[in-house]
Amino acid sequence: MRVPFVDLYAQYESIRSQIDRAIADSIRNTSFIGGQPVREFESAFAEYLGLNHVVGCANGTDSLEILMQAMGIGSGDEVIVPAHSWISTSESVSAVGARPVFVDTESDNFTIDVSKIEAAITSRTKAIIPVHLFGHPADMHVIMQLADKHGLKVIEDCAQAHGAMIEGKMVGTFGDAASFSFYPGKNLGAYGDAGAMATNDDALAEKARMIANHGQITKHHHRIEGRNSRLDGLQAAILLAKLPFLNQWTEQRIQHAATYHTMLQNSGLDLPATKPAYKHVFHLYVIQSEKRDALKSFLAEQGVETAIHYPTALPFLNCYQNRNPSTDQFPVAHAHQSRILSIPMFAELTEQQLQHVANAVNKFRS
Ligand SMILES: *Cc1c(COP(=O)(O)O)cnc(C)c1O
C-alpha cells in the first residue's frame, strides 16, 4: 500500500461537480479579474471568520507584506517573528524594508515562546507576527497583552490554521489583522496561488485593498502607488465552492489526528500536543524522533510518504547567516530541526491508510 503525503485529487473527486460548475461559470461570465466570485468569496470568508473585512490578494506572502505596508511598517523598524515557520513570515518583513527579529519556539507546540518575546522588544519594534504553525494556535492572550503594553501591532499568520480556535474564538480575530494563504495544500486551498487579508479595521482594509490593486479603489484614481496582487477570479470561484466544506474537512483532520494519537501511544515518539481549550486544525501532524532520518527512510520503504516542515529553522537559513545566529539563542527551534517529521494528513485519508501509516511507524521501533 502507498500512502501519499497529501492527495489533492481525492478532494477534487469528492466535489467535482461543484468545482467544474464554478470554473465553467467563471469562464462563461468572463470574471477573470475581479467580478462576482471574488466579491462573494471575500464576504463569505469574512462571515466565516466573523470579521468585517476580507481583502483577497495573490498569495499569503503578499498578504503579510501588504498588511505591513498598510500599517506603515518599513525601513528602520523591527518585527518579531517565530524562529520556526515557513520563510514567508520573515521574508515579508524584509520585503517592506524592516528587520525580522526571531524568537525561539515552544517545545510542545512549535509556536512562538511568549515568555521570550519581551526580551526581543526594542524601541524600533513595531509589530509581532505570531504563526499558528501546523494548525495549533499561538498563545494569543499573552501576545495581545504584550502588544498592548508596548504599543505594537499584531498580524496573525493564519496560513496553516483556517478555523483554529482558542476558547471558541477563531484565530485571525485576536490581532489587528490576519493573513491567510490558500496555497493548494493548505486547509482551504485554491488550484494555484491565492491569499487574503482579514481585519475589523475599516481604514486598514481600504489601504490594503488599494495597495493590492495599484493604489486605486475607483479605477484610474491612483491615490498612491500600489502593486498588482489581486485574488484571481478563477481561484476565488474555486475557493467559494470549497468553503462550505471547510468545517467538515477540519473535523476529519481532527479525527485522523485522534486516530494517530491512539495508535501511536506506545510508539515511543513525541506526538503533537494540544493545549487545553485550543482547537488544533492539524494542517500537519508532526511527530518527533531522535532517529528521524532513519524513520523517514523506513516509512518510505513501507510506502508512506512524509515531509519535514522545515529542515532548517529560519535563523539558520543561508540568507540569515550574516547575523551569526547561535544555537543558544534558539535551542528549541534548533533541536526540532533534526527531530520533526510530518506524516500523511488530509481529510480524505481512509481508515486503511491511517492504519497502514500507524502500523509502519510502530514497526520501526520493534
Ligand atoms: C503557506 C504559508 C505562507 C504564505 O504562503 P503563500 O505560498 O505565499 O500563499 C505564510 N506563512 C506560513 C506559515 C505558511 O505556511
- CB of 34 closer than 8 Å to CB of 242: no
Cα 364 to averaged position of ligand 1 atoms, centre (Å): 32
Question: What's the pLDDT score for residue 22?
Answer: 98
Q: In this structure, what DSSP letter does residue 232 have?
A: B
Q: Cα separation of 221 and 208, whole Å?
A: 15
* CA-proximal residue: ligand 1, atom 2 (nearest): 159
- pLDDT per residue as tens digits for the range 15-52: 999 999 999 999 999 999 999 999 999 999 999 999 99
pLDDT of residue 291: 97
**Do residues 80 and 150 lie in contact, with contact meaning Cβ atoms separated by under 8 Å?**
no
Residue nearest to atom 9 of ligand 1 (CA): 60
Distance 17 CA to ligand 1 centre (A): 28
* Pocket of ligand 1 from Cβ distances under 6 Å: 59-61, 85-86, 88-89, 131, 157, 159-160, 181, 183, 193, 195
What's the Cα-to-Cα distance from 122 to each of 89, 152, 252, 291, rounded to whole Å? 19, 11, 43, 39
Q: What is the pLDDT confidence band of residue 365, given thresholds at 50, 70 and 90?
A: confident
- Closest protein CA for atom 10 of ligand 1: 88
- From the CA atom positions of the chain, what is the Rg in Å? 21
Is 179's pLDDT higher than 80? yes
The answer to whether 92 touches 58, Cβ cutoff 8 Å, is no
From the CA of 309, how far away is ligand 1's center (Å)? 12
Task: Report the b/e string of 2-13 with b at 16+ CB within 10 A.
Answer: ebeebbeeebbe
Residue 5: pLDDT band with limits 50, 70, 90:
very high
Kindly give the distance from the C-alpha atom of residue 179 to the centroid of ligand 1, in angstroms, as a whole number: 9
**Residue partners of 325: CB distance under 8 A and separation at least 6:** 102, 315, 316
* % of the chain residues with pLDDT over 70: 100
Point out which residues pair with 341 in neighbouring strands: 287
Cα(185) to ligand 1 centroid in Å equals 10
Q: The C-alpha cell of 86 is what?
A: 515557513
Mean pLDDT of the region 103-119: 96
Q: Which residue has the cell 489601504?
A: 207
**What is the H or E stretch that residue 22 is in?**
helix 16-28
Q: Closest ligand 1 atom to the C-alpha of 195?
A: 9
pLDDT (tens digit, 9 = 90+) per residue, 273-328? 999 999 999 999 999 999 999 999 999 999 999 999 999 999 999 999 999 999 99
pLDDT of residue 366: 63
Q: Cβ-count burial of 291 within 10 angstroms (0-12 exposed, 13-18 middle, 19+ buried)?
A: middle
For a pocket test of ligand 1, which of 6, 86, 90, 92 has the largest count of ligand atoms closer than 8 A to its C-beta?
86
The distance from CA 199 to its chain's CA centroid, rounded to whole angstroms, is 16
Q: How many angstroms does the Cα of residue 59 sit away from the middle of ligand 1?
A: 8
Going by the DSSP 8-state scheme, the letter that residue 318 receives in this structure is G
Q: For 191-222, how does the pLDDT look when each residue is reduced to its tens digit (9 = 90+)?
A: 999 999 999 999 999 999 999 999 998 899 99
In this structure, the residue with its CA closest to atom 14 of ligand 1 is 159
CA of 293 to the centre of ligand 1 (A): 25
DSSP state of 112: B
